[in-house]
């Protein structure tokens, strides 16, 4: 799709098309989009799946994780302050797509009796250097299998 066609499909006024092109270029630089050409030579923009980017670019993966971790630590503390009762009585919990596990760590900090498992993709789990004793890290794909537990937590704090 050409830039003008995309802008038109998104109802972007012609006066803003140039700025929109610059915005897309920024996203390309941040590797969220790939810029390619179709057989006619026209420029095309393709959405790059973030997980592919994170898998290939270790530096990006590190930066992305740090952002998620600091956010999740805050969210974890707030959840434990405001609605910790929903975790009472659980013996095990699996956090799907839990990244490096800040939320699971917040839970085990308050409920050390809950066995917390963090499931995430290999590129994510491989960055976990030390396995915090109460949290078990499992490398895998949630669309293939999820470890069994009393409860499943799927959190996306974006």
Ligand X SMILES: C[S@@+](CC[C@H](N)C(=O)[O-])C[C@H]1O[C@@H](n2cnc3c(N)ncnc32)[C@H](O)[C@@H]1O
Nearer to ligand X (CB atom), residue 12 or residue 155 = 155
Q: How many CB atoms lie within 10 A of CB 102?
A: 25
Nearer to ligand X (CB atom), residue 67 or residue 89 = 67
* Cβ at position 42, least distance to ligand X in Å: 32
19: tokens are 């700025």
Strands 92-96 and 115-120: parallel
To which residue do tokens 């630590």 refer?
A: 73
Residues in contact with ligand X by CB under 6 A are: 51, 68, 71-72, 97-99, 119-121, 124, 141-143, 155-158
Nearer to ligand X (CB atom), residue 115 or residue 123 = 123
* Cβ at position 50, least distance to ligand X in Å: 8
Nearer to ligand X (CB atom), residue 14 or residue 158 = 158
With residue 87 as reference, give the H or E element that holds it. none
* Cβ at position 121, least distance to ligand X in Å: 4
Q: Are 92 and 151 in contact (CB under 8 A)?
A: yes
110: tokens are 């308050």
Residue nearest to ligand X (CB): 97
Q: What is the rounded distance in angstroms from the CA atom of residue 154 to the CA atom of residue 156?
A: 7
With residue 34 as reference, give the H or E element that holds it. strand 33-37
Nearer to ligand X (CB atom), residue 21 or residue 97 = 97
* Cβ at position 125, least distance to ligand X in Å: 9
Q: What is the rounded distance in angstroms from the CA atom of residue 68 to the CA atom of residue 64?
A: 6
* Cβ at position 107, least distance to ligand X in Å: 12
């Amino acid at each position: 799709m050409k830039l003008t066609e995309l802008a038109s499909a998104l109802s972007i006024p012609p006066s803003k098309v140039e700025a929109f092109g610059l915005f897309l270029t920024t996203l390309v630089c941040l590797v969220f989009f790939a810029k390619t050409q179709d057989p006619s030579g026209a420029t095309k923009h393709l959405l790059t799946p973030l997980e592919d980017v994170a898998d290939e670019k270790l530096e990006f993966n590190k930066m992305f994780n740090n952002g998620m971790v600091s956010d999740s630590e805050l969210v974890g503390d707030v959840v434990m302050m405001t609605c910790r009762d929903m975790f009472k009585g659980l013996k095990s919990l699996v956090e799907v797509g839990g990244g490096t596990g800040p939320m699971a760590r917040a839970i085990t900090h308050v409920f050390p009796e809950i066995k917390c498992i963090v499931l995430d993709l290999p590129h994510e789990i491989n960055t976990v250097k030390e396995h915090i004793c109460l949290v078990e890290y499992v490398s895998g794909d949630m669309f293939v299998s999820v470890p069994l537990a009393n409860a499943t937590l799927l959190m996306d704090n974006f």
